Every structure is written in C-alpha cells, then in structure tokens.
Amino acid sequence: MTIPHLDPDHIPRHIAIIMDGNGRWAQRKGLARAIGHKAGVKSVQKIVKAGRELGVQVLTLYAFSSENWQRPALEVKTLMGLLKSYLKLELDNLTKNNIQLRAIGEVERLPAEVRDVLTDTINCTAANNGMILNLALSYGSRQEITRAVKAIVGKCLAGELSDAEINEDTVNDFLYTSDLPDPDMVIRTGGESRLSNFLLWQASYAEIYITETAWPNFRRDHLISAIADYQQRQRRFGKTGEQVQKQP
C-alpha cells in the first residue's frame, strides 16, 4: 500500500466510523465471530492513536447500535465484556494522549458494570483536550431524533419554547452531539453501502468513504488513505462548484 501525503491543514475535524466486518473477518478464517470483535478492539486502539497523531479533533466510533441488542445473547455479552475491558485498559493511554472520552446513545441500557467503568473513564478524562473519542453505545439515530422531538414538545407544552422559535439549531441542541461539530467524513469498513441508523442528522453533509477492508484489518495507513480521499473532494454543501471555488 502506498501511503499518500496528507495536507495537515485540511484534516477532517470530525471523523465518524462504522466499524463493520468483524464477524465476516472471523468467519473467513474459520473462527468464531467473537474473535473478530476481539481483533476489532486492536483496531480501535490503533485508530484512536492514529487519529490523535493526525490531528483529528473528534473521532466517533459506532461500537454498539440500538439494533445490536437483537443479536444472540452470547454475542451481546462478548461485546459488553470487550467494551468493559477496553475502557479499563485504555484509561492510561487516554490520559497519556490527552484524549477525552464521551459516549452517545441510550447508555442507561448498558449493564451496570459497563456503565460504571464508562462513567469513571468519562469523568477521569473530562479535562483532556487533545481529541474527543466519542463512543456510540446503544446508539440509534432515529431513537436520538425521536428523543429530541419529545424534549422539544415537552418544552413547548411547558411554555418554555414556541413553535416559531424552533429551527435546525433547536433540533441540534437536543441531540447527544449538540456541542460537537458535524462529522466531515463517515468511514464504513467491511464494504457495505449503508448508514445503518448512524448520525443521520449530523452526517447530512459528511463525505462518505466505504472500504472493503474489514474493521480488524483497518490500520493507520487505511485511515490516511481515507483522509487523502477526503482531501481530494470538493465539498459543496448544495452550492455549485463555481460558487465554492470563489469563496475566500
């Protein structure tokens, strides 16, 4: 793999990753799906480190979706166990690398022992400002938007907000990601071409990058290739190419 040169002034501020392909990676090797998830944790560690070194400000990883609760109980248990051990093991590294941990999603649905270590890690890293590692856990975009709508209606019924005041910023304010920039790029590993209920509002203008590489094989060089691809693109946000070029 030739490693492309990156423009350090044009690194996406926020990269969001759908870490797909763990199960197929394992099955291709005749191994249990759980081994694929375990191998996926190694990629998480490598990509967090690489993201920080490359100057990414926010890295959101889709670690467990609202729909993943429907997987076999043993697989859910394995994923929860991996998450807990990752959080315990990673605290030192997050601290050393000045990385702040956050979580988005219905984290109250996580087992208490995972929630406890998650809360501890979030609290211990809250003052770090080198990069935000944002884990999407029990996360679903439709659920997030529904939650926001309910909260907005609640404010209206309480007389704290009028319908005339509701705009895109209001909706944004009630999302888990309210104080984060929108993702500039969504990467999906494992070759499938769908968003799978991930950041549907926030990724409205994200550049989508799909790679056949399965998540357990995804490394720093793959991330660099994805960013290089991003740097070749012209982001138009609904305008014409000419209009965008004329902008200062």
**C-alpha–C-alpha distance, residues 44 and 219, integer Å:** 9
179 as an active site residue: the answer is: no
Residues in region 151-190 near ligand FPP by CB under 6 A: 190
Copy the structure tokens of residue 84. 């807990």
40 touching ligand FPP, by CB under 6 A: yes
Shortest Å, Cβ 136 to ligand FPP: 9
Shortest Å, Cβ 221 to ligand FPP: 18
Shortest Å, Cβ 233 to ligand FPP: 26
The one catalytic residue among 7, 9, 22, 68 = 68
**C-alpha–C-alpha distance, residues 65 and 62, integer Å:** 7
**C-alpha–C-alpha distance, residues 218 and 18, integer Å:** 12
Classify burial at 16, counting beta carbons within 10 Å of its beta carbon; exposed 0-12, middle 13-18, buried 19 or more.
buried
41 touching ligand FPP, by CB under 6 A: yes
Q: Determine which helix (DSSP H) or strand (DSSP E) holds 139, and give its type and residue range.
A: strand 131-139
52 touching ligand FPP, by CB under 6 A: no
The runs of H, that is alpha helices, within the chain are 22-28, 33-54, 73-96, 112-124, 141-157, 168-173, 220-232, 241-246
Residue whose CB is less far from ligand FPP, 152 or 198: 198
Residues in region 88-147 near ligand FPP by CB under 6 A: 135
Shortest Å, Cβ 20 to ligand FPP: 5
Binding mask 11-30 for ligand FPP (x = CB under 6 A): --------xxxxxx------
Amino acid letter, residue 214: A
The one catalytic residue among 7, 20, 92, 197 = 20
Q: Which stretch binds ligand FPP (CB under 6 A): 39-47, 171-179, 199-207, 237-245?
A: 39-47
**Number of residues in contact with ligand FPP, rule: CB under 6 A?**
20
Shortest Å, Cβ 187 to ligand FPP: 13
DSSP helix/strand/coil, 109: helix
20 as an active site residue: the answer is: yes
Which residues sit opposite 61 in a β-bridge?
17, 135
**C-alpha–C-alpha distance, residues 61 and 96, integer Å:** 20
By CB under 6 A, name the one of 56, 61, 136, 185 that touches ligand FPP.
61
Copy the structure tokens of residue 238. 């609904």
By CB under 6 A, name the one of 63, 104, 132, 227 that touches ligand FPP.
63
Residue 183, phi-psi category: left (phi > 0), alpha (psi -120 to 50), beta (remainder): beta
Per the CB < 8 A criterion, the answer to whether 144 and 163 are in contact is no
Shortest Å, Cβ 2 to ligand FPP: 27
Contact residues for ligand FPP (CB under 6 A)?
Answer: 19-24, 37, 40-41, 44, 61, 63, 68, 79, 82-83, 86, 135, 190, 215
Q: Which residues are catalytic?
A: 20, 68
